[in-house]
Structure 1
Amino acid sequence: MNAAAPDLPGFQGSLFDQGTDIGPGPLRGLRRTELAGGAWVDHLPGWFHGADALFEELVAQVPWRAEQRRMYDGVVAVPRLLAYYPEGRPLPHPALREAREALSAHYAAELGEAFTTAGLCLYRDGRDSVAWHGDRHGRSATRDTMVAILSLGDPRDLAFRPRGGGPVALRVPAGHGDLVVMGGSCQRTWEHAVPKTRRAVGPRVSVQFRPHGVG
């Protein structure tokens, strides 16, 4: 079900992102955290210039949709708005194409292929979330791969734990143009989530770049 452009009055821009250019910066300074089982997470705060301006354009222009999913004996609303851009469909802003091309070039040696698709999530406030999961649809169920996430808007924690449960082993705050890349066996051997929070947080857009056949 398509949703109207949401009214998000709680958003406050970053004091450090006041330029007029919109686009990715250099990928120098990526910090890698090695996890067990051959998984790793790269993090680069503030990678994207003009992130707040891009956030506002995406909120207004992307054809967001609200979804429902069957759970147990009922149907519940998915706690975020969604959009998907498959391989070959133009992305909603040229700066996102630049970001995808930069990531494909940087990770070519490790990934062995390009990022081709983009999924977008809009978290409207702290009640919106994504539960523990791994992106294990398609080839990522059996093969190492990567998922690169560009975060726009207010920061939210991206949490990681071993697959099947256990304590949170890593929390990465992501917002205002931050980049997080999950690689190696991360989708198979670890789970990630954006937990709900009672803190007063503004909206956030997550852009997830994936290779072909990874879901």
Structure 2
Amino acid sequence: MYKQLNLWENGETLEPATVQSQITPQNLILPDGDLVIYPNLFDTTESDQLFYELYNNTHWRQDAIKLYGKSIPLPRLTAWYGDRGTSYTYSGIEMNPEPWTSILLQIKSKIEPLSNVKFNSVLLNLYRDGKDGVSWHSDDEPELGNNTVIGSVSFGDTRRFMFRHKSKKYASQEVNLTHGSFLLMRGTTQQFWQHQIPKTSKPVKPRINLTFRVIITST
């Protein structure tokens, strides 16, 4: 279990996202992409509670990748939960699912009606501070099939989420993923676009991101 975070002591709370209707989406205009964001799907109180539960009760792991023959720790902690048989491999790292928790099922049940998809797995990332991030990539592994649907939920401090087109070098976009936001990526987005969470020298508090997915299984 990761050490407890004293984020709410002395009356301190995370800065809430811009006040908007929880169910009013904003379309992000990307050529060859299909993205919708709900900036404040989870209200501040619910987001604080979910962040605390996920931070302290998720089975976080420190994975590493091989780079030039050396083992390099990923600049973030990760966890993988889902249905049986939803193993997932990325960057040479094999993830075998742990059973769903009540907290994850609670979040899943809130985003599935908006996604029109029944997700069977979720990758969790814990960005502990500005030194943590994730480099340019697409969620296009074979296990995800074509026209992948990714439901991305964020809790914690706001981080920049950047997009760049794989062939149209002039095409780029970024959005701030705020506490309690939900970003839905679908259609050909993963086929044509890459995304990243850049590292930053600015002081930032921890952030947890959950990317719900549909893994193609043999059963």
Query: What's the counterpart of residue 13 of structure 1?
Result: 13
Count of residue pairs brought into register by the alignment: 197
Aligned 8 A contact 2:120 2:214 in 1: yes
CA RMSD between the two structures: 2.6
Task: For residue 153 of structure 2, give the secondary structure of its aligned residue in structure 1.
Answer: strand
- How far apart, CA to CA, are the structure 2 residues paired with 1:193 and 1:85? 22
- How far apart, CA to CA, are the structure 1 residues paired with 2:22 and 2:149? 16
1:10 deviates by 7.1
Query: What's the counterpart of residue 101 of structure 2?
Result: 92
Query: What's the counterpart of residue 137 of structure 1?
Result: 141
Q: Name the CA shift for 1:212/1:73 in 2 (closer, same or farther; >3 Å).
A: closer
Is 2:194 aligned against 1:198?
no
Q: Name the CA shift for 1:166/1:199 in 2 (closer, same or farther; >3 Å).
A: farther
1:52 deviates by 1.3
Aligned 8 A contact 1:14 1:176 in 2: yes
Aligned 8 A contact 1:124 1:203 in 2: yes
- How far apart, CA to CA, are the structure 2 residues paired with 1:73 and 1:204? 30
- How far apart, CA to CA, are the structure 2 residues paired with 1:16 and 1:33? 21
Task: For residue 49 of structure 2, give the secondary structure of its aligned residue in structure 1.
Answer: helix
Identity %: 28
Structure 1 unaligned blocks of 5 or more:
18-25
Query: What's the counterpart of residue 58 of structure 2?
Result: 62
Structure 2 unaligned blocks of 5 or more:
85-97
Partner deviation per Cα, 1:36-66 (whole Å, 9 max, x = no partner): 12x1211111211311121111111111000
Q: Name the CA shift for 1:35/1:174 in 2 (closer, same or farther; >3 Å).
A: same
Task: Report the TM-score, using the length of structure 1 for normalisation.
Answer: 0.81
Aligned 8 A contact 2:140 2:148 in 1: no
Is 2:45 aligned against 1:42?
no
Task: For residue 198 of structure 1, give the secondary structure of its aligned residue in structure 2.
Answer: coil
Task: Report the TM-score, using the length of structure 2 for normalisation.
Answer: 0.80
